[in-house]
Amino acid sequence: GEATIIDAWSFTEAGDKSLRVELERAFNLTSDLGLVAEVFFTKGMGAIRAFKPHPFSPIRPALAERLNTAAEIFEKLGACAVEGKYDGFRLQVHMSAGKVEIYSRKQERVTHMFPDVVAGVKKQMRAREIIFEGEALAYNEDTGEFLPFQETITRKRKYGVSKKAEEMPLRMFAFELLYLDGKDWTNEPYHARRKKLTEIMGKGDVVALAKNVIVKTPKALQKFFDECVSSGLEGIVAKDLSAPYVAGARKFAWIKLKRSYSEKLADTIDVVIVGFYYGKGKRTEFGLGGLLTAVKAGDRFRTVAKIGTGFSEAQMREFHDSLSKISSKQKPAEVDSLLTPDVWVKPRVVVEVKADEITRSPVHKCAWKDNEGLALRFPRLMRVRTDKGADDATTEKEVVELYELQKHASA
C-alpha cells in the first residue's frame, strides 16, 4: 500500500525509513501521493515539513480505537471530551470562495449527492475557507427520531437526487474543524478545535454541532453514554482534550464505545449452522471461510446471517472437520434459504452470535414476509454452544420480538 511506497522514497533520500513519519503526514493531509512525490523530489523535506491542508484536497480521516467500557476509556484518557456517535455517514466538507465540495470517508467526491448539505453549509458556516467533518443522517423533525442507517444510506445516489433530498432531508452533526481561513487547525488541541468550531457555527436547520460534553469522572462518562444510547445514538466517541487531529491514523486519541459492546445492550442469539463456505486467501488452508446460520421456526430453519469473523484459525479447522461429517449433498428439506453455501450442513450445531442490531433483509429468510426478512448487522461468532441442540436455538419469533423492541428503544 501507500506505506510501502513512502518507505521506498525515504530510502532513496535517507537510506532508511527515517523520513516516513513526515512523508506520511503530508500524504494524510492531502490524500495525494503524486503531489507528495513531486514536492519531495523537487523541493525536498523542507517543503514536506511545511505541508498543510488546503480546500479541495481531502484529508484522510482520523479513526477511533475501541474499548469495551466507560471505565477503561477513563483509565486511558482521564478527563476527556465525549461526543455522541451518530449512525450515518461521515462527511468532510470543504468550502472556499463560495464553492463547496464534500468528500466521503474514502475521499470520494460526493458533493452532487447532497445539495441540501451544500446549501446548509453555505448558509450557516461563518467562514471564507473551511474544512470540517461531521456525520450526516436522516432525521425526523416531527418525532425527533433518527432514521435507521438503512434509510439514510439511500441518500447516497447518482440519480433522483433532488427528489430524494426533499423527501429525506439530511442533518449534519459537525464534530471536527481541520482548517479555517488559511490556518491549519489539525495541530491544535481538541478543545481549541471544538471551541473554534462552535464560534463559527451559524444557526440553521441543516448543520448542528454533535452532542458533546467534557467529563471529569468515569461516572459522568457512563452517564453521557447512557443518555446518548437512550436518545437513539450508537454510542459515544471519547477524545483526548489535548491531542491534535491525527489524519489517517487509528490512534488512542479517539476511543469509541458502542452500545453493542456491552453485554446487556447487544443482541446475542443462538443460531444453527446450515452450511459453510470454503473461504479465500489464507482461509483456503482451513477449508472454511464462513458459516451460513439460521433460526428455528417450528420445524423449519430460516437463515438470519452469515458469520465470517470471530473464529480463530484452530476453530476454523475444527468447524471444517466437524461440519464435513454432517454435510448434506443438497439443501436439507427443513431449511429455508435464498443463499447457497459451498457445503450444506444438517442443522445440528448451535453457535452463539453477537450482532449490533437487527435489520430488514432482502436475502435472509427469517420472518420472511412481502419479499423481506430479518438479518443481523455486524454478526460475529462468540462461541460454540456444545450444550445446545438445534431445538434449543433462538426462534424466529424471538428475533421478531428483538426487532420490535429495538424499534421502540430509539425514541
Nearer Cβ to DNA (47/310): 310
Nearer Cβ to DNA (268/327): 268
Biggest alpha carbon–alpha carbon distance for the chain: 72
Exactly one of 17, 43, 85, 203 is catalytic; name it: 85
Is residue 207 within 8 Å of 201, Cβ to Cβ? yes
d(CA 342, CA 291): 10
Residues making up the chain, counted from first to last? 411
Nearer Cβ to DNA (120/379): 379
Nearer Cβ to DNA (71/363): 363
CB of 90 to DNA, least distance (A): 4
CB of 378 to DNA, least distance (A): 4
CB of 181 to DNA, least distance (A): 27
Nearer Cβ to DNA (39/255): 255
Active site residue 85: yes
Which residues are paired to 297 by β-bridges? Answer: 300
Nearer Cβ to DNA (32/65): 65
CB of 251 to DNA, least distance (A): 5
Q: Calculate the CA 73 to chain-centre distance.
A: 19
Return the residue matching grid coordinates 507528495.
36
Contacting residues toward DNA, per CB under 7 A: 1, 3-4, 65-66, 87-90, 104-106, 108, 110, 149-150, 153-154, 156-160, 249-252, 258, 260, 277, 279-283, 289-290, 305-314, 354, 356, 359-364, 375-380
d(CA 199, CA 180): 12
- Cβ-count burial 115-147 (b if 16+ within 10 Å, e if not): ebbbebbeebbebeebbbbbbbbbbeeeeeebb
d(CA 122, CA 95): 8
Nearer Cβ to DNA (120/373): 373
Under DSSP, is residue 118 helix (H, G, I), strand (E, B) or coil?
A: helix
Is residue 393 within 8 Å of 295, Cβ to Cβ? yes
d(CA 239, CA 256): 9
Is residue 64 within 8 Å of 237, Cβ to Cβ? yes
**Any long-range contacts for 357-362 (C-beta under 8 Å, 24+ apart)?**
357/260, 357/267, 357/406, 358/267, 358/399, 358/402, 358/403, 358/406, 359/148, 359/150, 360/150
Nearer Cβ to DNA (127/207): 207
Can you spell out the DSSP letters for 3-67?
A: HHHHHHHHHHHHSSSTTHHHHHHHHHHH--HHHHHHHHHHH-HHHHHT----TTSPPPPPEEEE-
CB of 149 to DNA, least distance (A): 6
- Cβ-count burial 243-278 (b if 16+ within 10 Å, e if not): bbbbbbbeebbbbbbbbbbeeeebbebbbbbbbbbe
CB of 79 to DNA, least distance (A): 20
CB of 244 to DNA, least distance (A): 14
CB of 42 to DNA, least distance (A): 26
Active site residues: 85
